[in-house]
């Protein structure tokens, strides 16, 4: 079901991908360029961004609100608007309560959630003035419910899902589309840290194609691969007395 305006192709679309140095963000930026979009890419590694042929490199740290505002102002000056903000920035370190690391947990919050807030503060005035455009936040199936080893990561992704839902209620009546993307396991430098078998593992390129298909179709919630994510959606609907033993049994953790 389409809850957002559909996107009729990517030719000439103005897209800002934040978190484009590797993984899903980089692959999505490259597919967008192949499809004719005008793409700006942001991350901390300026040299890596400049390797993305055809993209406008805007290196920054998502914890730096002033840098995000400056980048948004440049896009407004150079492009006279923005069609899509795609927030892919993220960090992940496996963590359990028996080895709680406060600094790492707070870093997850700074990048995965607070960085998205900084990006919103930078682009919302522009989109509201246009009364058009799209915001897409890349969350994770780890945000659906509590999972072992996701003590720092999972809560930030759950926050993004809630944020997208609330943004949708406020912005859709004003002509602005809001999307949340919930990938399963994608083969990236972050997931390479996992020591357990990752079911239904897909490539960043496959993730990019799925993301763009969901955005074009106007979906609010794009999740993939569905043979895996539909089961997780079902799990979160179960009573906690059933959910917890099932998760322990499935993960062995």
Q: Which residues contact 38 (CB under 8 A, 6 or more apart)?
A: 12, 13, 14, 15, 56, 79
Q: How open is the CA angle 138-82-124, to the nearest 5 degrees?
A: 70
* Those residues with Cβ within 8 angstroms of residue 140's Cβ, 6 or more apart along the chain or in another chain: 90, 153, 154, 157, 182, 183
- Rounded to whole angstroms, the Cα distance separating 232 from 144 reads 7
Q: In terms of Cα–Cα distance, which of 40, 54, 46 is closest to 21?
A: 46
Decide: helix, strand or coil at residue 2: coil
Local structure of 17: helix, strand or coil: strand
DSSP state of 81: S
CA quadruple 119, 206, 164, 34: dihedral sign: positive
- Nearest 5°: CA angle at 128, between 125 and 132? 130
Annotated active-site positions, please?
153, 157
How do strand 14-18 and strand 38-42 relate by DSSP bridges?
parallel
Containing 229, the helix (H) or strand (E) segment is: helix 226-235
d(C-alpha 25, C-alpha 183), whole Å: 12
């Amino acid at each position: 079901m389409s809850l957002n305006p559909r996107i009729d192709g990517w030719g000439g679309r103005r897209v800002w991908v934040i978190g484009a140095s590797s993984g899903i963000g980089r692959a999505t930026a490259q597919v967008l360029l192949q499809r004719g979009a005008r793409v700006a890419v942001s991350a901390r590694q300026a040299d890596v961004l400049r390797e993305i042929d055809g993209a406008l490199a805007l290196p920054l740290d998502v914890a730096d609100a002033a840098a995000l505002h400056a980048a948004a102002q440049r896009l407004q000056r150079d492009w006279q608007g923005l069609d899509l903000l795609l927030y892919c920035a993220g960090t992940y370190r496996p963590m359990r309560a028996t080895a709680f690391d406060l600094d790492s947990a707070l870093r997850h919050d700074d990048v995965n959630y607070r960085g998205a807030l900084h990006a919103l503060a930078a682009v919302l005035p522009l989109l509201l003035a246009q009364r058009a455009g799209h915001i897409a936040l890349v969350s994770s199936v780890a945000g659906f419910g509590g999972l072992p080893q996701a003590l720092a990561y999972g809560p930030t992704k759950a926050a993004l899902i809630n944020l997208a839902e609330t943004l949708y209620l406020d912005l859709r009546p004003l002509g602005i589309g809001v999307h949340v993307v919930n990938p399963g396991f994608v083969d990236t430098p972050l997931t390479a840290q996992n020591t357990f078998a990752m079911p239904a593992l897909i490539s960043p390129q496959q993730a990019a194609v799925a993301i763009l298909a969901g955005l074009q179709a106007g979906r609010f919630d794009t999740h993939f691969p569905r043979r895996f994510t539909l089961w997780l959606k079902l799990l979160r609907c179960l009573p906690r007395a059933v959910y917890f033993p099932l998760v322990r049994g499935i993960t062995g953790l």
